[in-house]
Amino acid sequence: MQTAQSRSLFSLYLSYFADYFSWGAAIAFLAIYISTDQSPFHKLFWDRQLALGIAVACFPIGEVIGSPILGDLSDLIGRRVVLLGGLLGSIFSLALCAFGLWQGSFLLFLLGQLLAGFFAGKQAMAQAAIAEIDTGTKGQKLAFLSVLGGIAWITGPYFGNLLLEPRFIEQGGYIWPSLLASGVFGTSLICTYFFFEDNYQPNIAAFSATKFMKGIGHLFSLAIRERFFFLFLINLLGWYLIIVSLSYYLIQKFDLSVSQVGVYNNYLALCFTVGGIIGTAWILHRFRAKRILFWTQMAGAFGLFSLFGSEKMAELWIYLAIPAITEALIYPAYQTVLSDRANDQSQGKVFGLVNASNGACQFLAAGILGAIPSEFVGATILISACLFLFSAAFIPFSLRKKPHPKPM
């Protein structure tokens, strides 16, 4: 029994890692695909900057649409079939991106990006299945996702960049990162097919299109009425503002080169990974998730305010580490509390909502960054700090009384 659970966890973790790795290996290089002189898209209908903005928006839009749909669907028909279907969809999506790059078809490439985001919504089902496996604590298992996300954040861009070297571009242009991502999803599909055992018992007889659409409606009504979920959104937006603006901030304030900025971005990912290890091995093993949220968010806010006011390069190593390590604890803690507040037949819906929030916050953070004049880009760090502080301040009020779980 324990071996079967371990194999199932392995396949679920691999699926989660595959999404983040593939994003870093292929999708993170959109500016290179579109804006460089070697871009395969020679016949664009739009200005290249506008085309880049549209391409960047496709993935989070697809994720916002796909996460609640696939999460709710997994509650109705089971985890295994949705995960296998989602992995097949991801393989097809990245292959379509590669084909669009090969043919120089921007519209096909956009469709591939949108579908890649949609099928990234299978993470909701994987997280729900991880939470349901009866081994370890829920907080520990979800905190380990921060470790995987951090590792993928480092390795994905590294391997993607290797495949953009001239010797590869000469043999196929920019198709190789997308093909690598598709191959990683293929490996995950094979492991899932042979190793994942679905212990969730859906009520297949009750499935209908009407019930499914009502479930989606209930999902978004939960987001509106749940104060605790609103605080999660505030914190998540603050985190994505850090991610999208850090490179610009370092270049503007400290006049760093592109390679130096890359080092600091990798350092941020490394600190996030360390935070996940701490959460898995100790914090979320010893303390209940809701007990750490206030202090970790306060610590993250302190680190961001300090980062905004830093003047020396040496200070960056300290002040970047604080919000990265604390966010690696905050994110799974929020997930754990939200999961605990839902009933057993609604876990897919809850994690679908969480993953849809990721896409929405990515999109909103990019919009906020674009609206701020370049000379004031540091203001995004200050905004992030305020969002962390605001979310922390209302945590005690939102957790004062735990509502009874309601069917969704």
Look up the CATH architecture of domain 2-396.
Answer: Up-down Bundle (1.20)
Residue 341 confidence (pLDDT):
79
User: Is 370 within 8 Å of 330 (Cβ atoms)?
Assistant: no
Collapse the DSSP code of 287 into the 3-class scheme (helix H, G, I; strand E, B; otherwise coil) and give the result. Answer: coil
- Report d(CA 309, CA 167) in Å as an integer: 43
CA angle 333, 273, 176 (to 5 degrees): 120
User: Is 381 within 8 Å of 249 (Cβ atoms)?
Assistant: yes
Can you read off the two tokens belonging to residue 112?
A: 């591939």
Digit-coded pLDDT (tens) for 199-238: 887 765 555 566 556 655 665 566 566 678 889 999 999 9
Among residues 116, 107, 14, 101, the alpha carbon closest in space to that of 60 is found at 116
DSSP for 125-182, please give it. Answer: HHHHHHHHSSSS-HHHHHHHHHHHHHHHHHHHHHHHHHTTSHHHHTTTTTHHHHHHHH
In the block, residue with structure tokens 């799974």: 332
- Residues in Cβ contact with 309 at an 8 Å cutoff, skipping those fewer than 6 apart: none
Among residues 193, 181, 68, 83, the alpha carbon closest in space to that of 130 is found at 83
- Report d(CA 74, CA 67) in Å as an integer: 11
User: Is 124 within 8 Å of 71 (Cβ atoms)?
Assistant: yes
Q: Rg of the Cα trace of the chain? A: 21
Residue 353 confidence (pLDDT):
83
408 pLDDT more than 60:
no
37 pLDDT more than 50:
yes
Digit-coded pLDDT (tens) for 267-326: 999 999 999 999 998 898 888 888 999 999 999 999 999 999 998 888 999 999 999 999
Residue 86 confidence (pLDDT):
96
406 pLDDT more than 90:
no
Over residues 128-140, the mean pLDDT reads 85
- Residues in Cβ contact with 377 at an 8 Å cutoff, skipping those fewer than 6 apart: 245, 248, 249, 252, 369
Can you read off the two tokens belonging to residue 225?
A: 């009425």
Can you read off the two tokens belonging to residue 76?
A: 């109705």
Can you read off the two tokens belonging to residue 277?
A: 């290890």
pTM: 0.86
Residue 404 confidence (pLDDT):
47
Tell me whether residue 235 is exposed, middle or buried, using C-beta atoms within 10 angstroms of its C-beta: 0 to 12, 13 to 18, 19 or more: buried
CA angle 405, 205, 211 (to 5 degrees): 55
User: Is 275 within 8 Å of 148 (Cβ atoms)?
Assistant: no
- Report d(CA 224, CA 342) in Å as an integer: 15
